[in-house]
Chains A and B, each alone.
Chain A
Amino acid sequence: MSKSLKCLIITLVSVMISAGVAFADEFTQKDVDHWQKEYMSVVEKGRSLWGSPELGTNGVACGQCHPNAANTHPETYPKFQKQLGGVIPLRQMINWCLLNPLEGQPLELDDPRMVAMEAYIMYERRGTPLAPGQH
């Protein structure tokens, strides 16, 4: 490579760096805080769905039986759920609750509301070791 071309590349790169363009493997605490906020916004959505009478048709809310998402045991899924006859992931159990005690309709597994509820459940259970399959 010619000297002048090298020079040009170095200049370009310095300009880019000083303009705040990071490389793919670099992120700062500021980025992390920002992404955490994005995440928490969905956890909050999950929390508000948790207390909402709108998910089912009879006004019952998840929080009535699961205050602070207690007794949902997300760390044990997927597990053999004997009453459903097979091994299922957490979301299928959430759908069971929507269908039965809440007398509503199940959600698509990738519905943003489903994701939000799962995020809230996991958040309230943070720090608990994984125990997949545990009854």
Chain B
Amino acid sequence: MKRFNFCLIIAAGWICLFSSMPAGSAETQVPLGLPELTYPEANPQTQAKIALGDKLFHDQRFSSTGDVSCATCHDAGKAFTDAPLKVSEGIHKLTGTRNAPTIVNSAYFTTFFWDGRSPDLEDQALHPFTNPVEMGLKTHQPILDIVRTDSQYKKAFKNVFGKNAASITIKDVVQAIASFERTKISGNSPFDRWRYGGDADALTPRQKRGFDVFVNQGRCVSCHVIEETQALFTDNRFHNVGVGINDIQMVVSRLANEFLKAKITMSEVDIRVLTDQRTSELGRFAVTRKFDDMGSFKTSTLRNIAATAPYMHDGSLKTLRDVVKHYNNGGVTIKDDPVNDFLSGGIRPLNLTDRQIDDLTAFLESLTSPEFAVK
């Protein structure tokens, strides 16, 4: 009787365990300091899909030279960037115009690329394959040729999507990649433990002073969002902070007009912004064609920022201190340089003391999750 009861209890336990898990779920547990993560209905997480996405992410065959994969610019050992490169290097070490952002916590972004031209991870993954300075393919066909003939891929796609080799589409490929990317979330940094974990000593006194600068005189929190119960450090919006555009400010009007006259289609924008420096500096304007977006770029998350130097969309600011000084100057890198006409309304001289700059920089270093700690 006792043994029977014991078995019942064990059985009940198993049932409870399985019924509390969503069917087929492989959702990553949300670490301290991050909000709940929602997954797209059209692309639910499964372990098999994530593993497939991992494989695709690292596959160098999906480039014209056979030696560039997503991981080339988004290297797990470098917090999923290609630090310390200013701008990324694709096939033949060709350079583009923009610094590779981190994949980590991108699951929380609402738009992708520095100018937000992609609405989701699935769409974003389509573009680097066919960009001439990234993977250099003319179309996605070579990728499909590989996944439809490689025996491991055939098996995996069949298992994940229930599809025969011939019916595998590029959409399946990018869905798997996106699934993999959505597992790369990180929190539990010293800042998180201090603010949300109740650990009063997780930050040094200097970092605590830096936090005060961050939310008050530094005004950082306006765009690099921190909230009561979690912190994404991005508002998912676009702002002109005076990087890059300052170099073309005398000719912005002409460049913008030329760009519009050329009637660049959306599919051409992806290629133009990475191959033409001056178009790149137009920022989100090249995507939306609205005055308001002139020279605007997406607010980066600051999580793990100490591990992802150099900084800004063009990699032009080498250290965190350089970044803080740029903002302190009110949106110019060299103090007293002229500010561009389209500067975001939130950017202004901050009048921080050297000590405050040091403190703020120290605070930024506290945003690194343990798995990406800078050695």
The answer to whether any beta carbons of A and B sit under 8 Å apart in the complex is yes
Question: Which residues of A are at the interface with B, using a C-beta cutoff of 8 A?
Answer: 80, 82-87, 99-100, 106
Minimum Cβ distance to chain A for residue B318 (Å): 28
Task: Tell me the nearest residue of chain A to B222, going by C-beta.
Answer: A83
Choose from B215, B217, B231 the contact partner of A84 (Cβ within 8 Å): B215
Choose from B216, B221, B226, B231 the contact partner of A99 (Cβ within 8 Å): B216
Give the chain A neighbours of B36 by CB distance below 8 A. none
Choose from B217, B219, B222, B228 the contact partner of A86 (Cβ within 8 Å): B228
By Cβ-Cβ distance, the 4 closest A-B pairs, closest first, are A85-B226, A85-B221, A86-B228, A83-B222
Give the chain B neighbours of A100 by CB distance below 8 A. 219
Total interface residues on B, CB under 8 Å, equals 11
User: Does B227 interact with chain A (Cβ within 8 Å)?
Assistant: yes
- Does A85 contact B228, Cβ atoms closer than 8 Å? yes
Minimum Cβ distance to chain B for residue A58 (Å): 11
User: Does B225 interact with chain A (Cβ within 8 Å)?
Assistant: yes
Minimum Cβ distance to chain A for residue B301 (Å): 15
Q: List which B213-253 residues lie within 8 A (CB) of chain A.
A: 215-217, 219, 221-222, 225-228, 231
- Does A82 contact B215, Cβ atoms closer than 8 Å? no
Give the chain A neighbours of B228 by CB distance below 8 A. 80, 85-87
Q: Bound state CA distance, A85 and B223, in angstroms?
A: 10
Q: Bound state CA distance, A82 and B217, in angstroms?
A: 16
Task: Tell me the nearest residue of chain A to B228, going by C-beta.
Answer: A86
Minimum Cβ distance to chain A for residue B39 (Å): 25
Q: Bound state CA distance, A74 and B228, in angstroms?
A: 21
The 11 sampled A-B contact pairs (Cβ below 8 Å) are A80-B227, A82-B225, A82-B227, A83-B222, A84-B221, A85-B225, A85-B227, A86-B227, A87-B228, A99-B217, A100-B219
Give the chain A neighbours of B221 by CB distance below 8 A. 83-85
Minimum Cβ distance to chain A for residue B68 (Å): 40
Task: Tell me the nearest residue of chain A to B223, going by C-beta.
Answer: A83
Q: Bound state CA distance, A83 and B215, in angstroms?
A: 9
Q: Bound state CA distance, A107 and B219, in angstroms?
A: 17
Task: Tell me the nearest residue of chain A to B214, going by C-beta.
Answer: A85
Give the chain B neighbours of A83 by CB distance below 8 A. 221-222
B303-321 vs A, Cβ < 8 Å mask (1 yes, 0 no)? 0000000000000000000
Give the chain B neighbours of A86 by CB distance below 8 A. 226-228
Give the chain B neighbours of A80 by CB distance below 8 A. 227-228
Give the chain A neighbours of B217 by CB distance below 8 A. 99
Known: A85-B225, A85-B226, A86-B228. 8 other contacts (CB 8 A): A82-B225, A82-B227, A84-B215, A84-B221, A85-B231, A87-B228, A99-B216, A100-B219
Give the chain A neighbours of B216 by CB distance below 8 A. 99, 106
Task: Tell me the nearest residue of chain A to B220, going by C-beta.
Answer: A85
Minimum Cβ distance to chain B for residue A107 (Å): 13
Minimum Cβ distance to chain A for residue B323 (Å): 20
Q: Bound state CA distance, A128 and B64, in angstroms?
A: 68
Q: Which of A80, A99, A100 has the most CB of B within 10 A?
A: A100
Task: Tell me the nearest residue of chain B to A85, going by C-beta.
Answer: B226
Task: Tell me the nearest residue of chain B to A80, going by C-beta.
Answer: B228
Minimum Cβ distance to chain A for residue B329 (Å): 16
Minimum Cβ distance to chain B for residue A82 (Å): 7
Minimum Cβ distance to chain B for residue A132 (Å): 15
